[in-house]
Amino acid sequence: MSQRQVLQVFEQYQKARTQFVQMVAELATRPQNIETLQNAGVMSLLRPLLLDVVPTIQQTAALALGRLANYNDDLAEAVVKGDILPQLVYSLAEQNRFYKKAAAFVLRAVGKHSPQLAQAIVDCGALDTLVICLEDFDPGVKEAAAWALGYIARHNAELSQAVVDAGAVPLLVLCIQEPEIALKRIAASALSDISKHSPELAQTVVDAGAIAHLAQMILNPDPKLKRQVLSALSQIAKHSVDLAEMVVEAEIFPVVLTCLKDKDEYVKKNASTLIREIAKHTPELSQLIVNAGGVAAVIDCIGSCKGNIRLPGIMMLGYVAAHSENLAMAVIISKGVPQLSVCLSEEPEDHIKAAAAWTLGQIGRHTPEHARAVAVTNTLPVLLCLYMSTESSEDLQIKVLPHDSKARRLFVTSGGLKKVQEIKAEPGSLLQEYINSINNCYPEEIVRYYSPGYSDTLLQRVDSYQPLIN
Partner 1 sequence: MATLARLQGRSAVIRNQYYYRNSVVNQFRKKENDAAIKIQSWFRGCKVRAYIRYLYKKVTIIQKWWRSYLGRQQYQLMVKVAYYTMKMNLYNTMAVRIQRRWRGYRIRKYCFNYYYLKEYLKAVSETNDVIREALEEFAEMKEKEERKADLEREEKKRDYQARKMHYLLSTKQIPGVYNSPFRREPDPWELQLQKAKPLTHRKPNIKQKCSINLSSWLECTRSRSFPQSEILPPINRKQCQGPFRDLSEVLQQRYKPLEPTLRVAEPISELKEAREAFRREELVLNIHENVFLPFSTYHKNKEKYRPSVHSSSKYGAASYGHQHFRDENPQKWVNSKCYVLMLLT
Which residues of the shown chain bind partner 1 in the complex (CB under 8 A)? 10-11, 14-15, 18, 53-56, 94-98, 136-138, 254, 257-258, 260-261, 263, 290-297, 300, 326, 329-330, 333-334
Between CA 292 and CA 287 the distance in angstroms is 8
The least CB distance from residue 113 to partner 1, in Å, is 30
The least CB distance from residue 340 to partner 1, in Å, is 16
The least CB distance from residue 202 to partner 1, in Å, is 29
The least CB distance from residue 238 to partner 1, in Å, is 24
Residues sharing a CB contact under 8 Å with residue 433, sequence separation 6 or more, in sequence order? none
Q: Which is nearer to partner 1, 97 or 418 (CB)?
A: 97
Between CA 197 and CA 150 the distance in angstroms is 12
Residues sharing a CB contact under 8 Å with residue 423, sequence separation 6 or more, in sequence order? 431, 435
Between CA 220 and CA 319 the distance in angstroms is 29
Measured between alpha carbons, how far is residue 280 from residues 194, 216, 276, 470 in Å? 21, 23, 6, 74
The least CB distance from residue 142 to partner 1, in Å, is 13
Sign of the Cα torsion 28, 53, 110, 179 reads negative
**Residue 133: DSSP 8-state:** H
Q: Which is nearer to partner 1, 137 or 465 (CB)?
A: 137
The least CB distance from residue 331 to partner 1, in Å, is 10
Q: Which is nearer to partner 1, 139 or 209 (CB)?
A: 139
Q: Which is nearer to partner 1, 23 or 388 (CB)?
A: 23
Between CA 373 and CA 329 the distance in angstroms is 9
Are 324 and 285 in contact by the 8 Å Cβ rule? The answer is no
Q: Within 10 A of 83 (CB to CB), how many other CB atoms are there?
A: 10
Identify how many contiguous H helices and E strands the chain contains and give both numbers.
33, 0
Q: Which is nearer to partner 1, 55 or 415 (CB)?
A: 55
Q: Which is nearer to partner 1, 176 or 267 (CB)?
A: 267
The least CB distance from residue 3 to partner 1, in Å, is 13
What residue type is assigned to position 341 of the chain? Answer: S
Are 99 and 59 in contact by the 8 Å Cβ rule? The answer is yes
Between CA 469 and CA 85 the distance in angstroms is 101
Between CA 223 and CA 218 the distance in angstroms is 10
Q: Which is nearer to partner 1, 330 or 401 (CB)?
A: 330
DSSP 26-37: HHTTSHHHHHHH
The least CB distance from residue 278 to partner 1, in Å, is 16
Q: Which is nearer to partner 1, 6 or 459 (CB)?
A: 6
The least CB distance from residue 122 to partner 1, in Å, is 24
Are 320 and 279 in contact by the 8 Å Cβ rule? The answer is yes
Q: Which is nearer to partner 1, 150 or 294 (CB)?
A: 294
**Residue 394: DSSP 8-state:** -
The least CB distance from residue 262 to partner 1, in Å, is 8
- First and final CA of the chain: distance in angstroms? 139
Q: Which is nearer to partner 1, 120 or 171 (CB)?
A: 171
